[in-house]
Amino acid sequence: MTDIRPLAAGNWKMNGLRASLGELEAIASAVRAGETGRAEVLICPPATLIAAAAQAGGGMAIGGQDCHAAASGAHTGDISAQMLRDAGATYVIVGHSERRADHGESDQMVRDKAEAALRAGLTAIVCVGETRDQRESGQTLAVVGSQIAGSLPHDATAATLVVAYEPVWAIGTGLTPTAADVAEVHAFIRHELIDLMPGEGEKVRILYGGSVKPANAVELMGVENVNGALVGGASLTAKDFLGIAGVYK
């Protein structure tokens, strides 16, 4: 199996004022001190903090949480991938379930955003995952498969694409799938990636996200084909986030 460098990513969502940059600085200095080992560390703060975070976060990567599909234009309130890049981001999350649900983002819209990210020189983190109803009715793999088929950017490589499996029912709830369930979905995603991206699909990082905490990080990050975490709530404090990213030390 290819040796994949894991990615420990934090998604601050709509949290964080300038005062929160202290947490980010604490994470960055731990990264520089080697406390996160071989993992690549990424924080995606709100857009208002990206430029300052890129300055304060030496040693780690900074990303956006969404971008528009167009490079510029009459789209009041939106932010382009190029603008994120210009502010110092190197990653952007697209298709998070909160955007799919709250902003009606379809697979096609997510793909368009991911392709815009690649054009701007960003790495796209494309999120997929089933709802509770879909899991309970046995549709998990079908749902994830159709999100993969519909939302991944064309012409991506393992360097420009990350896939995050985030069961919607696990986000912010304290609930997580069993290690066996995570292994099943991640193996399925790996298989789909190899099919869609011959020569690259085996190297694309597949993150698990949804209630990752220091207490469950060793187990979840140890599952086969789990190449890192996408962390929401526990990424807001350096202590908790480092308790997760630190499993790679």
Residues recognised as catalytic: 96, 166
Burial (0-12, 13-18, 19+ Cβ within 10 Å), 174:
exposed
DSSP string, 106-123: -HHHHHHHHHHHHHTTPE
Q: Which of 40, 115, 166, 192 binds ligand PGA (CB under 6 A)?
A: 166
Q: Which C-beta is closer to ligand PGA: that of 50 or that of 197?
A: 50
Residue 143's Cα: distance from chain center in Å? Answer: 18
Q: Are 99 and 79 in contact (CB under 8 A)?
A: no
Tokens coding 124? 């796209």
Ranked by CB distance to ligand PGA, the top (closest) residue is 232
Which of 90, 101, 129, 145 is CA-nearest to residue 207? 129
DSSP count for the chain of H helices, then E strands: 10, 8
Per CB under 6 A, contacts with ligand PGA among 62-91 are none
Q: Which of 159, 172, 218, 249 binds ligand PGA (CB under 6 A)?
A: 172
Shortest Å distance, C-beta 130 to ligand PGA: 14
Please tell me the distance from the alpha carbon of residue 35 to that of residue 78, in angstroms, as a whole number.
Answer: 36
Q: Does 215 engage in binding with ligand PGA (CB under 6 A)? A: no
Q: Does 11 engage in binding with ligand PGA (CB under 6 A)? A: yes
Q: Which of 8, 42, 62, 171 binds ligand PGA (CB under 6 A)?
A: 171
Shortest Å distance, C-beta 234 to ligand PGA: 6
Tell whether 12 is in a known binding site: yes
DSSP string, 189-221: HHHHHHHHSTTTTTTSEEEEESS--HHHHHHHH
Tell whether 227 is in a known binding site: no
Q: Which of 124, 162, 230, 242 binds ligand PGA (CB under 6 A)?
A: 230
Helix 21-32 and helix 238-245: axis angle, to 10°? 30
Q: Does 95 engage in binding with ligand PGA (CB under 6 A)? A: no
Annotated binding site for substrate, which residues? 11-13, 172, 211, 232-233
Annotated binding site, which residues? 11-13, 172, 211, 232-233
Which residues form the interface with ligand PGA (CB under 6 A)?
11, 166, 171-172, 209-212, 230-234
